[in-house]
Structure 1
Amino acid sequence: MSHIPEVYKELIEATAADVSKLLSPGYEPDAKLVQKGLLIYRQGLVTKVRYEDGSVTSTVQDVSPVFVQVELNFFQTSSCSCPADGICRHIVATFLYAFSQVGSVADWVEEWRTPLHEKKTAQQLGLMKAKDLMKGSGSIKPDYDHWVQTFQNSFQSIMNGQGTPKPYLIPELYQAYTRRLRASAPVEQEWKQLYLLIGNIFSFRQLLNLSQQSGHSSYDIERNYQQLFFSLIDETEVLINRLSVHALPFAFDEFIARLKDDVTDLLIDEVALEFERIQLYQLLWSSLFKKKHWREEELEKLANLGKINGSYALSIGFIHLNLLLKRDEKALAIITQHEADISPFLLIWLEDFKSQRDWKRMGPFVEAFIGYLRPYLLSLPNSYACFDFTRYATRVLQSYCSETNRIDLYEKILMQLLPYSYREYEQYLYIEKQYEKWSDLQAYIGYDMTSISTDKIKELQKEDPAVLLPLYHQSIQKNIDLKNRGNYRQAVRELKKLRTLYKKLKRQDEFEQFFDLLLERTKRLRAFHEECQRGKLIHA
């Protein structure tokens, strides 16, 4: 057993807490990972352990020996020489070995598994029969205050009944809460839909408050129960659509009026999930709270809060209400004061214009959006987000440009979104027969000739063969630079096609000059010259 430096004890204990949060016992791959790591540790296969520079290194004698480095300051960056991606069983085994020097591995594993036992206990609440849930409440008569009080009592008794809930328990507890909520709903179908709708809004707000009061971080929410908020928004939209099939009874007016007064808090509360809060607020004011004087009153309420310029959420709500009231100039004035972070909501408003086919209103907002495209794209965290945003943006904007015959604007948009708009821009240039620009785009992206379809190459050889010349030159050089036989052979194949093109263009002398210079420049690449001989480009 290696001696552990005193300074590393606290580091290892802190890492143990991090690992407990990072790996979930309820997630099967994580459970198997810890199980395999524990087996390796208990078999004594972790050897040559050293502590240095804030990390623990070891050799693990698995199927074949692997070298492991566990980073104590940031466990996620730990590495192993095995083929597995991310945290592997060897990293876990080394961590458990290090922890064994400061505490009981068995106790840590048991404590780590505790959430799974707690989840099973929480799930028991969800197995209660509907008739048991109804005891003491009965079917609730239509009364807004009574409904809200019932939601409150159920939420508190289930979600907080065992004290402050851990993040991983929220989904199971919430499932039990919704079963009670549904079991208490009115029997009449129309009233039931309204009851569930108001229950959804209440539940959304209460979950937000619970996450804040419990001190759950954004990471805790995202990992454990963010999906609940997405589901609530989706369910709310479905319920609104169901209610909208027929004219709403006059008796609903009081309930909807009370509800509209309660949702302003979605913009005011300084809690997590800002995008989801704004999204729900927009949905309700677009689809449910449709009376003009309601929207005007809400607009005045937001303005009186005096935070429009300092609060992102309030500002988005203010713009949205102005758009619903068709006060486009006011909305546009606020939009232009924002940074590029307004782009996701601006895109949603553009989608609304598109669905209404209101191209005239859409125009000024498209112009504003274009100015944000590049900065917003550069602010996104990874290429996946960039591609998703580009696909969504081009789909919405293409319709506008097509309907208004603004093809020039569409090209400008595609250029702003490069390189993520390559597919759309390449197709656009090809269809428009802008072959020279098409060729420049291929060169800019760096694609070789094998990435271009044979049909396009054949058509370009007929239509404008000269545009293929720089692409062949670039592709040939890339293959030569890779310095292996396979790429040399590909380069020779492309050289022969290039020669044919120059001949078709009656510029054969240019090819001969280029090829002579190429041979001189590559005279030390004997294998390439041999492939040129085999391809009968040169003679021995």
Structure 2
Amino acid sequence: MATVQSLAKRFDDTIYNYMAAIEKSLTPSREMDEEMVRKAVFLVRHDGVQILSFNEERLLLEAIVKDAHTVKVVLNFDKMNAVCACPQPDMCRHRLAVIFSLYQKVGSLSEWVAAWRAQPSSQLKMMAEKRSPEQWTQIIKSVWRDPIPDYTTRNYFYFEQMFEGRLKNALSFVPLEREWKVFYRTYAHLISLMEVWDTFIAGTEEVHHSFFKTWFEDELHALRDLLEQLRVQHRTFEADAFLDHLRKLVRAFIETKNGSFSQRFTVYRLFWTTLFISNKLRSSEATALAKPDHRIAAFFAILSGDGVVVQKIAPGETADWVQLAIQAETEQHQQALTAILMAIKPHVKTFLFEGLYTQYRHQYVRILSRLFSQIDLSEADWEDLFKQFGHYGLPAYSTYLIEKQLYKQWAELHHLHNSPLYFVEECGLKNVQDAAPDFVLPLYHRFAMDFLEERNRPGYKQAVRIWKKMKAACKKSGQLEFWNAYMTEVRTQNKRLRALQEEIEKGHLL
């Protein structure tokens, strides 16, 4: 094979064409491109490229690049393409390094890199134009022009790194004027969310689904903070066009049909409850939507105070209707709250046990209990509701039984579910003991026997603590004779447990 120097001079036009293609495809303002060029130059200057062979007939040049792992690269001078063994599908630092190593035989690599970095970016060219919503949209979308790698849907950590990097690039063009900073950041977050949406939705179906959902909640918090700042910020007449464009973006976002309406609806509600709060704007939006979903129609009816009619809802829509019920509670719209909750009621069990992660079920049972307590329900309706809650509804059901003075049923409920002491105390044990001490005696007996089974002094001390409460309940209900007989029997049956006998005497239980 001829020397690399002679080969480069012979095919100098081909090498210049490679460099022109690189200059056209890579942009110095993009962090990924800048890093790729920088690493490729590093590999060349540290002798990381070795040319292996050149096939004269097929015009194929083979080389290896000594990176973290040695990688093979093939340049096809005839077809003007490059193939690398690394997993990156398009241009990579290994391909660049081989082309750069050839270029430095016919030109100055340092001068090329300096000229490439000095060229104005397309975003900066757009920034020189008059400020407009369309300009901002183009700048932010240009950051997202490269396809998002498929592997980010399967690995949240790659997704997070990719999103944060591109969002950071978009935010680097934030205007200098203070009054426009929050506006631009809102655009950047919303458009970036829209650009990454399909990848996010696909990620929620993969192994890291919980991480993707947590990321979405964090993005909602960031958007909410920006919208709250924007709402109270002084705005000029020039800002009206930016607000109008923002409304159009949000409307286009909710009208997209791709099976992720629930998550889109969350973002849509955030904008219309935080930033767009004018009755005129809301009325205009409600009529501007083409064939709006019945959840959107109910949402605007709640905000405007109009009557809400809820037809039969699908089980998968329950989460959205729960949020609308919370909105009706906030707006003090009693008719809407009643209509929505009665439509939700048949689907509560499905919502809790199929639509929610375990850690959220207690929280939503408390929310649903609070909402349903604000409307008129029959005892049969309450019974049905608590059955749907399952064991997650025990605190709410206990509160309901205490309010109805159904103390016997309260005690039977906790016997049935074998509730531990701390949980029974949380569910109103003290209230029941004050009102109907007879019904708590069997519970206290079970708790004391559980500690007795531990067969150690700490367990005996806990049993004595419970017996003291049981004694107080017997005294209040006038059953001291029963108490004395009970404790005598306990001591008789456990007369060989000297530590227990000592603790009973210390506790003055008789």
- Distance between the aligned counterparts of 2:161 and 2:472, measured in 1? 69
- Distance between the aligned counterparts of 1:325 and 1:164, measured in 2? 43
1:104-125: CA deviations, max 9, x gaps?
xx99xxxxxx99xxxxxxxxxx
Instruction: Find the counterpart in structure 2 of residue 337 from structure 1.
Output: 313
Q: CA 1:477 to 1:238, structure 2 compared with 1: closer, same or farther past 3 Å? A: closer
Where do 1:248-397 residues align within 5 Å? Answer: 249-267=236-254, 269=256, 275-289=262-276, 290=278, 291-299=281-289, 301-303=290-292, 314-330=293-309, 332-333=310-311, 336-339=312-315, 341-380=316-355, 383-397=358-372
Query: Which of 126, 133, 145 is matched with 1:144 structurally?
Result: 133
Instruction: Find the counterpart in structure 1 of residue 407 from structure 2.
Output: 435
Where do 1:89-108 residues align within 5 Å? Answer: none
- Distance between the aligned counterparts of 1:458 and 1:135, measured in 2? 69
Q: CA 1:497 to 1:223, structure 2 compared with 1: closer, same or farther past 3 Å? A: closer
Whichever residue aligns with residue 466 of structure 1, its letter is D
Given that 1:414 and 1:425 are in contact with CA atoms closer than 8 Å, whether structure 2 keeps it comes out as yes
Given that 2:362 and 2:392 are in contact with CA atoms closer than 8 Å, whether structure 1 keeps it comes out as yes
Given that 1:448 and 1:471 are in contact with CA atoms closer than 8 Å, whether structure 2 keeps it comes out as no
1:195-233: CA deviations, max 9, x gaps?
332332211110114557xx7573266366555533432
Give the Å deviation of 1:452: 5.2
Instruction: Find the counterpart in structure 2 of residue 197 from structure 1.
Output: 186
- Distance between the aligned counterparts of 1:461 and 1:220, measured in 2? 49
Query: Which of 131, 135, 143 is matched with 1:154 structurally?
Result: 143
- Distance between the aligned counterparts of 1:452 and 1:294, measured in 2? 52
Q: Report the 3-state secondary structure (helix = DSSP H, G, I; strand = E; otherwise coil) of the residue aligned with 1:366.
A: helix
- Distance between the aligned counterparts of 1:211 and 1:501, measured in 2? 57
Gapped regions of structure 1 (runs ≥ 5): 1-105, 108-113, 116-127, 304-313, 520-525
Given that 2:302 and 2:327 are in contact with CA atoms closer than 8 Å, whether structure 1 keeps it comes out as no
Q: CA 1:247 to 1:327, structure 2 compared with 1: closer, same or farther past 3 Å? A: farther
1:28-83: CA deviations, max 9, x gaps?
xxxxxxxxxxxxxxxxxxxxxxxxxxxxxxxxxxxxxxxxxxxxxxxxxxxxxxxx
- Distance between the aligned counterparts of 1:294 and 1:155, measured in 2? 32
1:400-427: CA deviations, max 9, x gaps?
36xx8x8979966566534223334445
- Distance between the aligned counterparts of 1:224 and 1:496, measured in 2? 49
- Distance between the aligned counterparts of 1:534 and 1:286, measured in 2? 63
Q: CA 1:231 to 1:136, structure 2 compared with 1: closer, same or farther past 3 Å? A: farther
Q: Report the 3-state secondary structure (helix = DSSP H, G, I; strand = E; otherwise coil) of the residue aligned with 2:270.
A: helix
Instruction: Find the counterpart in structure 2 of residue 422 from structure 1.
Output: 394
- Distance between the aligned counterparts of 2:399 and 2:421, measured in 1? 16
1:316-342: CA deviations, max 9, x gaps?
334434444555434x12xx3322x33
Whichever residue aligns with residue 291 of structure 2, its letter is L
Give the Å deviation of 1:164: 6.2
Instruction: Find the counterpart in structure 2 of residue 183 from structure 1.
Output: 172
Query: Which of 457, 467, 485 is matched with 2:439 structurally?
Result: 467
1:131-150: CA deviations, max 9, x gaps?
99974444663323222222
- Distance between the aligned counterparts of 1:491 and 1:139, measured in 2? 79
Q: CA 1:140 to 1:219, structure 2 compared with 1: closer, same or farther past 3 Å? A: farther
Whichever residue aligns with residue 296 of structure 1, its letter is A
- How many residues align structurally? 384
- Distance between the aligned counterparts of 1:390 and 1:174, measured in 2? 34
Q: Report the 3-state secondary structure (helix = DSSP H, G, I; strand = E; otherwise coil) of the residue aligned with 2:416.
A: helix
Given that 1:139 and 1:187 are in contact with CA atoms closer than 8 Å, whether structure 2 keeps it comes out as no
Instruction: Find the counterpart in structure 2 of residue 173 from structure 1.
Output: 162
Q: Report the 3-state secondary structure (helix = DSSP H, G, I; strand = E; otherwise coil) of the residue aligned with 1:282.
A: helix
Whichever residue aligns with residue 296 of structure 2, its letter is G
Identity %: 15
- Distance between the aligned counterparts of 1:500 and 1:287, measured in 2? 54
Gapped regions of structure 2 (runs ≥ 5): 1-67, 70-86, 89-116, 505-510
Where do 1:168-247 residues align within 5 Å? Answer: 168-210=157-199, 218-219=205-206, 222=209, 227-245=214-232
Given that 2:302 and 2:336 are in contact with CA atoms closer than 8 Å, whether structure 1 keeps it comes out as no
Where do 1:11-160 residues align within 5 Å? Answer: 135-138=124-127, 141-156=130-145
Given that 2:175 and 2:184 are in contact with CA atoms closer than 8 Å, whether structure 1 keeps it comes out as yes
Query: Which of 441, 447, 466 is matched with 2:419 structurally?
Result: 447
Given that 1:155 and 1:177 are in contact with CA atoms closer than 8 Å, whether structure 2 keeps it comes out as yes
1:94-113: CA deviations, max 9, x gaps?
xxxxxxxxxxxx99xxxxxx
Give the Å deviation of 1:348: 1.6
Q: CA 1:316 to 1:280, structure 2 compared with 1: closer, same or farther past 3 Å? A: same
Q: CA 1:342 to 1:173, structure 2 compared with 1: closer, same or farther past 3 Å? A: closer
Instruction: Find the counterpart in structure 2 of residue 3 from structure 1.
Output: none
- Distance between the aligned counterparts of 1:495 and 1:228, measured in 2? 50
Given that 1:485 and 1:528 are in contact with CA atoms closer than 8 Å, whether structure 2 keeps it comes out as no
1:10-42: CA deviations, max 9, x gaps?
xxxxxxxxxxxxxxxxxxxxxxxxxxxxxxxxx
Given that 1:465 and 1:501 are in contact with CA atoms closer than 8 Å, whether structure 2 keeps it comes out as yes
Structure with higher Rg: it is: 2
1:144-181: CA deviations, max 9, x gaps?
32222222212225x75xx7674543333333333332
Q: CA 1:202 to 1:499, structure 2 compared with 1: closer, same or farther past 3 Å? A: closer
Q: Please provide the CA RMSD for this pair.
A: 5.1
Whichever residue aligns with residue 236 of structure 1, its letter is L
Give the Å deviation of 1:283: 1.9
Give the alignment's TM-score, normalised by structure 1: 0.55
Whichever residue aligns with residue 370 of structure 1, its letter is K
Given that 1:492 and 1:531 are in contact with CA atoms closer than 8 Å, whether structure 2 keeps it comes out as no
Q: Report the 3-state secondary structure (helix = DSSP H, G, I; strand = E; otherwise coil) of the residue aligned with 1:219.
A: coil
Q: Report the 3-state secondary structure (helix = DSSP H, G, I; strand = E; otherwise coil) of the residue aligned with 1:156.
A: coil
Give the alignment's TM-score, normalised by structure 2: 0.58
Give the Å deviation of 1:529: 6.5
Q: Report the 3-state secondary structure (helix = DSSP H, G, I; strand = E; otherwise coil) of the residue aligned with 2:308.
A: helix
Given that 1:429 and 1:438 are in contact with CA atoms closer than 8 Å, whether structure 2 keeps it comes out as yes
